[in-house]
A and B are shown apart, each in its own frame.
Chain A
Amino acid sequence: DTGVSQDPRHKITKRGQNVTFRCDPISEHNRLYWYRQTLGQGPEFLTYFQNEAQLEKSRLLSDRFSAERPKGSFSTLEIQRTEQGDSAMYLCASSSPNRISSYNEQFFGPGTRLTVL
C-alpha cells in the first residue's frame, strides 16, 4: 500500500496525559499536512511541512500542540496535557509539487481518532 498511513488509528487517554501520533506520507511527497476534524465539521488545517521545514501553523495549534518532521519523511504530532476539547479525528495528508499548477492536491490518511476522557 503506497498511501498515507497513520498510527494509531484510535487513542483513548485521560485528561492531562500526553499523546503522540505518527504520519507516514506517500514516499515521494515532500509536503505533509495535519488537520483536525470534529464531529459534524469539515477538517480544519493545523500545520504543514515542506520537507523538514514547518512552513505554516494555524491559530488552532495552541502551545500544547507540537509537530515535527525531523528527516523530511514521517511526522509526529504531540498534544501535551490533553483536554476533553482535544477529542477529534486528526488527519494527515501529503502532496507533491505539480508541474501544471503551483498548488498541490492533498492525499489523506485514514486518521487517528482521539478520545480524551
Chain B
Amino acid sequence: AQSVTQPDIHITVSEGASLELRCNYSYGATPYLFWYVQSPGQGLQLLLKYFSGDTLVQGIKGFEAEFKRSQSSFNLRKPSVHWSDAAEYFCAVGARRGGSQGNLIFGKGTKLSVKP
C-alpha cells in the first residue's frame, strides 16, 4: 500500500542550529514529492516539491530537500533554524500518472519546536 512515514513526531532544536526532518515513502514507482508546513490553526503552505531532474531541490524560507531513490527518502533540511520555523511539517506524495492523480498522501507530520 502507498504510504508516507515521518518517523519523528516531535523535534526540538536550538535557534541557529541545523535541521533535518525525515520522510520515507512506499510507492509503486517514483512519485511526486512535496513538503508542506502548517502553523497552528492554519492551512498548509507548500515549501518545496520534487517532480524530476536534480535530486536536491530548493524551496522557500531557506529549506531544501534531497530525493534519494535508493532509500525511498525525501528529507527536508535547513542549515540554520529561526524561531519562526516552529510549526508542523508534512511530507506528501502524489501519483505521476494512472491511478489516482487527485490524491496526495500525507505523512502524520513532525512538529518542530525551536529553543531560544
Alpha-carbon distance A43/B4, docked complex (angstroms) = 12
- Tell whether B46 is near chain A: CB-to-CB under 8 Å: yes
Write the A83-100 contact mask toward B (1 if CB under 8 angstroms, else 0): 000000001010000001
Encode contact with A along B88-102: 1 for CB under 8 Å, 0 otherwise.
001010111100111
Tell whether B32 is near chain A: CB-to-CB under 8 Å: yes
Question: Could you tell me the distance between the alpha carbons of A108 and B107 in the complex, rounded to whole angstroms?
Answer: 16
Which parts of B28-51 form the interface with A (CB within 8 Å)? Answer: 32, 34, 36, 41-46, 49, 51
Q: Is B70 interfacial (CB 8 A cutoff)?
A: no
- Bound-complex Cα distance A31 to B41 (A): 24
How many Å lie between the Cα of A106 and that of B95 in the bound state? 13
Least Cβ–Cβ distance between A55 and chain B, in angstroms = 6
Say if the beta carbon of B105 comes within 8 Å of chain A. Answer: yes
CB of A102 within 8 A of CB of B97, answer yes
A74 at the interface (CB under 8 A from B): no
Query: Which parts of A29-86 form the interface with B (CB within 8 Å)?
Result: 31, 33, 35, 40-45, 48, 50, 55-56, 58
Mask: chain A, 102-117; 1 = CB below 8 Å from B; 0 = not:
1101111111010000
If A48-B102, A103-B51 touch, does A43 touch B46 (CB 8 Å cutoff)?
no
> In this complex, what residue of B is CB-closest to A57?
B102
Nearest CB on A from B62, distance (A): 19
Q: Which 7 A-B pairs have the closest CB atoms?
A: A42-B106, A48-B102, A108-B43, A108-B44, A45-B103, A110-B43, A56-B102
Contact A43 B106 (CB under 8 A): yes
What are 13 A-to-B residue pairs whose CB atoms are below 8 Å? Answer: A40-B108, A42-B90, A42-B109, A43-B44, A45-B105, A50-B102, A58-B103, A101-B32, A103-B51, A103-B94, A105-B49, A111-B42, A111-B43
- 17 further interface pairs, Cβ-Cβ under 8 Å (given A40-B108, A42-B92, A110-B42): A33-B102, A35-B104, A42-B106, A42-B107, A43-B90, A43-B104, A45-B104, A56-B100, A101-B32, A101-B96, A102-B101, A105-B49, A107-B46, A108-B43, A108-B44, A108-B45, A110-B43
